A and B are shown apart, each in its own frame.
Chain A
Amino acid sequence: MLKIKNLHAKVGDNEILKGLNLEVGPGEVHAIMGPNGSGKSTLASVLAGRESYEVTEGEVELDGVNLLDLDATERAREGVFLAFQYPIEIPGVSNLNFMKAAINGKRTHLGLEPIKPKDFLTKVKECSSLVELDGRLRDRSVNEGFSGGEKKRNEIFQMAMLDPKLAILDETDSGLDIDALRVVSKGVNKMRSKDRSFIVITHYQRLLEHIVPDFVHVLSEGKIVKSGGKELALELEEKGYDWLK
């Protein structure tokens, strides 16, 4: 499914990823933990194809497709989804129009007709009930004036709408209250399937009680320094990161 080999990436003159290796099999959930500033969000951005991050070395393949050859739009259409740590506001653009443009972008790419309004609405209903997204939020401008938690919930709603192959959740749990965390996790769990993989970036073991990972990795100074099963998260919670240095 996803294969990352010896990935180096920099912003400006700053090398942030320094030879990162990771393989994610189909249907697997991988958690990535690690200290602030270690490069977790950078990894997410690089995988999604953000232009300001320059890949200097390494390979990234998704189902045999070399992602590094594709721009951000093409990667999204190949099934890469990133739930942003800090979702972006787009004033004046309704959430639904935004989703329609996204879905139709992918459909055009696949040579399909634009989605029928009826099918679109059915999908919207399904996906918003999955994360219990308030109808009022759905109709508002993308993330504009949403609370931190509402933004995160909206990211997962979008993920469900776009049905990705690889979903990267960057600190989706931060900002969610206890109930919201449960709801959102439940939504994510419902979306787990044998041909969808997840990379879940988090600082807290608590999220991993809800979304139970198959593997846990520690990212430190631009590299994976330790990998293990879900117990590793518990160990990290107890000991912190210092012992890994």
Chain B
Amino acid sequence: MSQTEEEKLIGEVTAKSYEFGFTTDIDSDTIPPGLNEGVIRTISAKKNEPEWLLKWRLEAFRLWSEMEEPEWAHVNYPKLDLQSISYYSAPKQKKEIASLDEVDPELLKTMEKLGISIEEQKRLSGVAVDFVMDSVSVATSFKEKLGELGVIFCSLGEAIQEHPELVRKYMGTVVPQRDNYYAALNSAVFTDGSFCYIPKGVRCPMELSTYFRINQAGTGQFERTLLIADEGSYVSYLEGCTAPQRDENQLHAAVVEIVSMDEAEVKYSTVQNWYPGDANGLGGVFNFVTKRGLCHRAAKISWTQVETGSAVTWKYPSCILKGDDSIGEFFSVAVTNNMQQADTGTKMIHIGKRTRSTIISKGISSGHSQNSYRGLVQIHPGAENARNFSVCDSLLMTDTCGAHTFPYIEVKNPTAQIEHEATTSKIGEDQIFYCQQRGIEEEEAIGLIVKGYAKDVLNKLPMEFAVEAQKLLTISLEGSVG
């Protein structure tokens, strides 16, 4: 298939999948004066970007200007004031703080419970630290090791300067600029993000990102990640951090693109713990993310996510199973508490023959929160013998929260096999009593029951992440018996 044909196909597929049953007519938003062509030229110039990239950004901006903010997700939030955002500022550096005493004690308490070291606590909360020599040297030696294997792992900004050919070839091929409102906005104004390239046949020997966590700059508001696994390669990539992330930025509109070439495998794990706002729903991050992977022949992409943060989450990590025999997986635990709202799920687009996908989604809702699973399984006419298996479970902790499941299934090939299971259960008073009768405290009992419920997903996380993620679940649900 030629490059343009391919682009066309992907374009069609992705545009449709977002359109699917969701759009409503609204008065078109006026373009906020905070963002205009001049601003984009400034960003691009400041970052010393090549001409093609500036054009690409401007094209995105033009497309975005014609779009309407989506309203179909099962979430409610006040309209964002896009004028108040300063688009040309470099990724926000966290304010430097002199000592931990100045940090919100709630935040510190949580970090302590997560077992995060004092050094790390300081770093995460923006206290100026002299990095422990050890960590720096560890990071450096890993960088050397990766270099020997030809793995490129750097910021997107760096990649644009050092490896423009790779960036140009792949950026926007999986999530085109016009994909959706927030992706278009991101394409126009993204400031930085991560870039990763695994050469042919290379098995990346370490989880990417954990060891580098320490060197990462403050996460930008419009982050963009591009990950390319060349033929027959393997990589496990970790994004995020279990520690609570306070951020002044209210809107986060990230884009993640993955290309998994023939027989390559990518595991992408996320722990998202942005500030959810207070118990009354004030403050908190709006997290509108577009994540999508493209699988070539016999390639595999697994998305694993643990979502506990943000006031509003809107996120559907998806797989386009274009190549024959390719595999897509989505494993998710989404916790909502207090006034949080999450609308998350996945899209599995089966195009190639014998493509397979698995979806395991575990929602946990508490307080007055709303937790929705929205999933699309699409079998294209050419996808002979495609198979999908989906499980969406919801666990309710209170009588005041809501859990919703919106599975969309479109089958255009009669040989497809699709299985969908969904359950909703309330955390059992009898289960809690049983634990208590054995001498386990109520809070811990709830933690145990919830971890057990989410086990199938937590097991998919890399070891060091899994332990922290388990604790995080317990902490997120503290005081949520009802």
> Is B226 interfacial (CB 8 A cutoff)?
no
Contact B452 A141 (CB under 8 A): yes
**Cβ contacts B433-454/A at 8 Å (1 or 0 each):** 1111111111010001101111
Which residues of B sit under 8 angstroms from A50, Cβ to Cβ? Answer: 433
> Is B431 interfacial (CB 8 A cutoff)?
yes
Contact B433 A77 (CB under 8 A): no
> Is B464 interfacial (CB 8 A cutoff)?
no
Contact A72 B444 (CB under 8 A): no
> Is B455 interfacial (CB 8 A cutoff)?
yes
The A47-87 residues at the B interface (CB cut-off 8 A) are 48-52, 71-73, 76-77, 80-82, 84, 87
Contact B434 A90 (CB under 8 A): yes
Known: A90-B452, A93-B451, A141-B452. A73 touches B430 (CB 8 A): no
Contact A82 B437 (CB under 8 A): yes
Contact A71 B436 (CB under 8 A): yes
Contact A72 B436 (CB under 8 A): yes
Known: A72-B433, A88-B428, A92-B456. A102 touches B440 (CB 8 A): yes
CB distance from A177 to the nearest CB of B (A): 24
Number of A-B residue pairs, CB cutoff 8 Å, is: 79
Known: A88-B431, A88-B434, A105-B444. A73 touches B439 (CB 8 A): yes
Contact A48 B437 (CB under 8 A): yes
Contact A76 B455 (CB under 8 A): no
Query: Quick one: which of B440, B444, B454 contacts A92, CB cutoff 8 A?
Result: B454
Known: A52-B429, A72-B433. A158 touches B452 (CB 8 A): no
Closest A residue to B425 by CB, please name it.
Answer: A91
Closest A residue to B433 by CB, please name it.
Answer: A50
CB distance from B435 to the nearest CB of A (A): 7
Query: Quick one: which of B435, B439, B454, B456 contacts A90, CB cutoff 8 A?
Result: B435
Q: How many residues of A contact B (CB 8 A)?
A: 33
Known: A73-B442, A98-B448. A92 touches B437 (CB 8 A): no
Which residues of A sit under 8 angstroms from B438, Cβ to Cβ? Answer: 76, 98-99, 101-102, 105, 158, 162
Contact B452 A73 (CB under 8 A): no
Which residues of A sit under 8 angstroms from B430, Cβ to Cβ? Answer: 88
A106 to B428, CA, bound (A): 23
Closest B residue to A103 by CB, please name it.
Answer: B439
**Cβ contacts B444-482/A at 8 Å (1 or 0 each):** 100011011111100000000000000000000000000
Of the candidates B430, B433, B437, the one having the most CB atoms from chain A within 10 angstroms of its own CB is B437
CB distance from B295 to the nearest CB of A (A): 30
Contact A76 B449 (CB under 8 A): no
Known: A52-B429, A73-B442. A90 touches B449 (CB 8 A): yes
Which residues of A sit under 8 angstroms from B441, Cβ to Cβ? Answer: 73, 105
> Is A192 interfacial (CB 8 A cutoff)?
no
Q: How large is the interface on B (under 10, 10 to 19, 20 to 34, 35 or more residues)?
A: 20 to 34
Contact B439 A93 (CB under 8 A): no
Which residues of A sit under 8 angstroms from B451, Cβ to Cβ? Answer: 92-93
Query: Quick one: which of B429, B440, B454, B455 contacts A73, CB cutoff 8 A?
Result: B440
Which residues of B sit under 8 angstroms from A98, Cβ to Cβ? Answer: 435, 438, 448
> Is A123 interfacial (CB 8 A cutoff)?
no
A51 to B437, CA, bound (A): 11
> Is A125 interfacial (CB 8 A cutoff)?
no
A91 to B437, CA, bound (A): 17
Closest A residue to B430 by CB, please name it.
Answer: A88
Query: Quick one: which of A71, A72, A90 contacts B431, CB cutoff 8 A?
Result: A90
Closest B residue to A52 by CB, please name it.
Answer: B429
> Is A186 interfacial (CB 8 A cutoff)?
no
Contact B439 A106 (CB under 8 A): yes
Query: Quick one: which of A76, A89, A97 contacts B439, CB cutoff 8 A?
Result: A76
Which residues of B sit under 8 angstroms from A226, Cβ to Cβ? Answer: none
Contact B439 A77 (CB under 8 A): yes
CB distance from A111 to the nearest CB of B (A): 15
The A29-51 residues at the B interface (CB cut-off 8 A) are 48-51
Which residues of A sit under 8 angstroms from B444, Cβ to Cβ? Answer: 101, 105
Which residues of B sit under 8 angstroms from A49, Cβ to Cβ? Answer: 436-437
Contact A76 B452 (CB under 8 A): no
Contact A91 B452 (CB under 8 A): yes
Which residues of B sit under 8 angstroms from A48, Cβ to Cβ? Answer: 433, 437
Closest B residue to A73 by CB, please name it.
Answer: B436
Which residues of B sit under 8 angstroms from A109, Cβ to Cβ? Answer: 439
Of the candidates A73, A99, A109, the one having the most CB atoms from chain B within 10 angstroms of its own CB is A73
Known: A48-B437, A72-B433. A91 touches B453 (CB 8 A): yes
**Cβ contacts A127-147/B at 8 Å (1 or 0 each):** 000000000000001000000
Of the candidates A84, A87, A90, A99, the one having the most CB atoms from chain B within 10 angstroms of its own CB is A90
Which residues of A sit under 8 angstroms from B449, Cβ to Cβ? Answer: 90, 93
Contact B448 A90 (CB under 8 A): yes
A88 to B438, CA, bound (A): 12
A106 to B436, CA, bound (A): 11
Contact B435 A92 (CB under 8 A): no
Query: Quick one: which of B433, B439, B453, B456 contacts A51, CB cutoff 8 A?
Result: B433
A204 to B247, CA, bound (A): 66
A114 to B441, CA, bound (A): 15
Which residues of A sit under 8 angstroms from B434, Cβ to Cβ? Answer: 84, 87-88, 90
The B387-444 residues at the A interface (CB cut-off 8 A) are 428-431, 433-442, 444
Closest B residue to A143 by CB, please name it.
Answer: B434
**Cβ contacts B6-41/A at 8 Å (1 or 0 each):** 000000000000000000000000000000000000
Known: A73-B441, A73-B442. A93 touches B436 (CB 8 A): no
Contact B437 A76 (CB under 8 A): yes
Which residues of B sit under 8 angstroms from A102, Cβ to Cβ? Answer: 435, 438-440
Which residues of A sit under 8 angstroms from B442, Cβ to Cβ? Answer: 73
Which residues of A sit under 8 angstroms from B431, Cβ to Cβ? Answer: 88-90
Known: A52-B429, A88-B430, A88-B431. A72 touches B437 (CB 8 A): yes
Which residues of B sit under 8 angstroms from A51, Cβ to Cβ? Answer: 429, 433
Which residues of A sit under 8 angstroms from B436, Cβ to Cβ? Answer: 49, 71-73, 76
CB distance from B237 to the nearest CB of A (A): 26
Which residues of A sit under 8 angstroms from B429, Cβ to Cβ? Answer: 51-52
Having A84-B437, A105-B444, one finds 13 other A-B pairs with CB under 8 Å, namely A48-B437, A71-B436, A76-B439, A88-B428, A89-B431, A90-B448, A90-B452, A93-B449, A93-B455, A106-B439, A109-B439, A141-B452, A162-B439
A to B CB contacts below 8 Å, 14 in the list: A48-B433, A73-B439, A73-B440, A84-B434, A88-B431, A90-B449, A92-B451, A92-B453, A92-B454, A97-B448, A103-B439, A105-B440, A109-B439, A162-B438
8 closest pairs, A vs B, by CB?
Answer: A92-B452, A93-B452, A92-B455, A72-B436, A102-B438, A76-B439, A88-B434, A105-B439
